Structure 1
């Protein structure tokens, strides 16, 4: 059995085990993929400040995100089609997160439904909402999330229109995969994945199929989704969704200080500095580079979280030291899920927590909540000098 010491170990196994269509879906960005790449590489520009002769005993990574106790300030981000990376993928990921003590966020575009995940877990998870033109469906979706006892609604703001991801178009991405000569040839090399998929009934979009008028199976789903993302989403609509939900609200997709201020005005409990993993506006700034500016604008008035490019505990440490109260991993846990199912998600979390803990100690800190800019060496022009 492979010894897992870093997230890339899981990624290598993941690539071998999961069909190319779904590997490419996770491991890609829009257009030239510049933002997708820089989300990760921009972390390298920040250095850690080593301190010595400091008491490193009694360390803790425990913290809180939106008032919820967490084993470390790392949540599992919403990822569409998770149940295509591994059979019942959302259930496996949610169970791993629950056992570890970190939040799990279920995507609107999940394979397993809200109800299927709730049935297999005992603690509340978070639900991510895409705003659709079908207002009745959105209202019922929110009611379903309430009935499942979801403890936060994460509203994604940066997908009113879909960014073009070349690989998905070329692969003919679908769930379940359409059986063309090309996909059959690839699936024939992924026996373990295929056998697991045959054992589950969860192979379509569980939150949509059967819950929307005229969408009874996957054949008419694509046409419905293509025209459903709400192009007219604005701050007034976000206020209405907040009122409809009545609980904790997190706004995801904030990449500009002015938008962060607007999120503050509508009364969000937290914002997620995010560019959708580099899958929407290519050529936008990386999340980690925008974090300091957004912290300066609203950081002491609202809880700021950060998502995008995190592949290690050191990445988490850097985001927290720049002021974020929480971070999210998407691809990092998907690699684990595709590689080894629920145990792989746990492994990804363990890798990140261990590196966060040890790096924190070597920076002279015992409590993750005490991390600050003092622990970092940040280039003077880290955010860029723009005319």
Structure 2
């Protein structure tokens, strides 16, 4: 029994148990075979079969409304399920390495009826990935001022020109959402609008930018990319508002996934410390190891409660940017420190690629930067404390 199991989670137990059982039954065995063969991820054909099974078990696109074909989980249910969905090696950035489908960007949930029929529903049904292009060479933490990509009206719709940087999923996604300035920075929302942009559009090019995790990012160039009027999402100038919703969901999801991976790493450390002996005694009998395990458990317990409280506010219709940023900050920083300690407990074997720990550590290091770096979250938190002065 886990002594750090949060109270009041009985209604979440069926969701957690179903997800955990699926990971242990369907994903982990396949993953073990792939790792033994030297794979660094789940191949597309294997992923497709896992997706079929996930759909059959009701584990498809967790955050997408049921009316569109998703699981329709509340934020509270979502963070609990994500903790279980990442209990395997290739779990970051996507639980199941995509086996559970890909929730469409929040932007698409704001689409009109025609856009939903053309883009949203096929995306959910077919498990398509989308890229979201916000960050630019001029910066990503302050898009309202940093975005220089412009979209100009033309008779056939819009012409988009600019550069994007550190964009995930471009190489895997035939479609994406691009934020571009259609007005001035002085306008509400910075005059930023959101557009659906096919990757194969004339004038669209990209190149891979390798980072420390196994899933890389891309640099994107938009040289006069033309899209029709119907590719505008919402009204002109609403892009920044939609982006904030997308970031809020992403931060909460990232926090839950980070906690889930770190919790699994801690379980590995507990098991290993009981099995491994040095100088005639199990590691578990050494006070230094006991303190490391205790620190990990206490910090993860706090992080989990913070994430679940932030999610409870969203479920109740009272989302708090301050709490969401707190959850993202605490969870990602804690998870990284926990996995780092777990590697230390394992010693040399913890550094081996045969173990999942080094893979998780690299991915968790990225989590401290993406979706708003730790320092950006501190700014958001401070503004919540000092709304009239900061």
Q: Please state which band the TM-score falls in when normalised by the shorter chain.
A: under 0.3
Q: Taking CA–CA contacts closer than 8 Å with sequence separation of 6 or more, which of the two structures ends up with the larger relative contact order?
A: 1
Higher helix share: 2
Output the TM-score relative to the length of structure 2: 0.27
Output the TM-score relative to the length of structure 1: 0.27
